Amino acid sequence: MGKTKDGYVQRPSAAVGKNPYPGGGAAEKSPAAPADAEQIKVGDGIVVTIKRIGINGEGVGYYRRKAVFIDGAITNEVVKAEVLETQEKFLKARLLEVEKKSPDRVEPPCPVFGICGGCQIQHISYEGQLRAKLDIVREAFSRYAKLNDLKIKPTLGMDRPWDYRNKAQLQVERRDVKGSKSEIIAGLYEIGTHEIVDISGCPIQHPQVNRAIDRVKAVLGELNIPLSKGDSRGGRSDIKDSGPRKGVRTIVVRAGFQSGELQVTLVTETADLPRQGDLIERLRLELPEMSGLSLNVNPLKTPLIFGERTISLWGSEAMKESLGDLNFELSPRAFFQLNPEQTVKLYETVRTAAALTGKETVVDAYCGTGTIGLWLAPYAAEIRGIEVIPEAVEDARRNAALNGRDNAQFFAGEVEDLLPRWAKDGLAPDVIVADPPRVGLDRKFLETVLRAKPQKFVYVSCNPSTLAKDCKVLLDGGYEIQSVQPVDMFPQTSQVECVTVLVKK
């Protein structure tokens, strides 16, 4: 089950049907339950009490001491389920009926919830979501770090947990509609398939993003621009017997919540889209707030959205946006947090956790485009950011210059190489901040931290499981946990960010 840094998750297709989350009442007849967990087989019916929410949003219960994972079930519910998969230590089952309903169960507002895979817990009230995410973090520390009594602060949530995503990356397809001409749909792949689910009006996307996607689809259809999927002749009625023609595969729209600007990028398989002049003119008319239109060329069969080449068709190559008092210029491929409101809370949590006095040297590991380091720079003596991707380091340096953060430097390389080199030159970091990808911290990095012995280590994590495992290494190496603060960066999904502060004993 994979998760991108922007919060989208794909769940196993076997546990999801077209209507996987019934709210109770009449259900299909349940098969007979086996007497012993070891005798259970696919198709058997079981009754399970749900104890908690799992890391992928599924309900977790136990059947005769064997863990059971059931999508759509909620903590404290009693449910009937049909077994889909049996393993030595766990079962997977499909929810059939809710016998005892949780007060946190709500009707999901999205018509494709449970199908598109973008959200996992819309069927839980927001207060219930925040508690569930706290429990996910607590369970991870208990399981992987053997910390059963760890004090964890309540999850930092949003006042309005909708309309928060500032960016959409949607696959496009031309699809025949019964009784009418074909239409263009844009969406995500249905769980476990390569079928696109239309997510027009997605309730977690900002309305400006949804409107822009709709307008871009309309213009592509109006101009008969070829698409790469569902378009045997490229969607052009003026081409006869010319064979397949490659075209647009993805629409990418990013909205500036502070700047009000709109950035539109069409990911294509070739750089020679027809009617580009008409395309530019129509999109400028339909989207007057658009500050730039680009093509990104990605001819490869790959799950990666972007290719290496980006062509500016019109307007500015970079979009302006801000976080707090920081200003950024974002190219189409530049990473930027998807929930600006919660990003400010996250970075302020990091700043408070670091407790800087203006005299400290801070190393920002896995610094990306430098946002955390730049946020901390006014409160530290020196910031040194480290990132393995050279392009991100260049972005970080530009951002530092743009914001006058003269005490922030950014370096391309591995922490385990640069930190020892700096130590030989007499630099010893007071604080190390790390915000790694979902796989967590590299073991060599952890060993380097233990040798560098910073007074404080601030760990920003998007995966509670790897967070707890990495913290166990640091705890065994002479650190102790000072605080744990979950932050809800992606409401309606099972993802939870966490800021953990470790201090040297």
Instruction: Look up residue 458 and give its amino acid.
Output: V
H-assigned helices in 197-296: 207-222, 276-286
Q: What is the largest CA-CA distance in the chain?
A: 75
| Measured CA distances, 225 to 91, 247, 306 (Å) | 47, 7, 20
| Measured CA distances, 481 to 154, 438, 461 (Å) | 16, 20, 14
Q: What does the DSSP assignment read for 268-327?
A: ESSS--TTHHHHHHHHHHH-TTEEEEEEEE--S-SS-S--SEEEEEEE-SSEEEEETTEE
| SS3 per-residue string spanning 329-352 | EECCCCCCCCCHHHHHHHHHHHHH
> Is the Cβ–Cβ distance between 128 and 102 less than 8 Å?
yes
Place of tokens 């700047």: 259
- CA proximity to 292, closest of 258, 338, 327, 253: 253
d(CA 385, CA 370): 7
What is the spatial order of strands in the sheet that 431-434 belongs to? 408-412, 382-387, 361-365, 431-434, 456-461, 497-504, 479-487
- CA proximity to 295, closest of 315, 275, 313, 319: 313
| Measured CA distances, 159 to 164, 173, 209, 402 (Å) | 11, 35, 20, 31
Phi, then psi, of 469 in degrees rounded to 5: -60, -45
> Is the Cβ–Cβ distance between 65 and 59 less than 8 Å?
no
Please tell me which residue in 116, 367, 462, 471 is annotated as part of the active site: 462
Q: Helix axis angle, 415-424 relative to 443-452, nearest 10°?
A: 20
Tokens of 153: 């602060």
Active site residue 462: yes
> 35: how many CB neighbours lie within 10 A of its CB?
9
Counting Cβ atoms within 10 Å, is residue 288 exposed (0-12), middle (13-18) or buried (19+)? exposed
> Is the Cβ–Cβ distance between 423 and 399 less than 8 Å?
no
Q: Which residues are catalytic?
A: 462
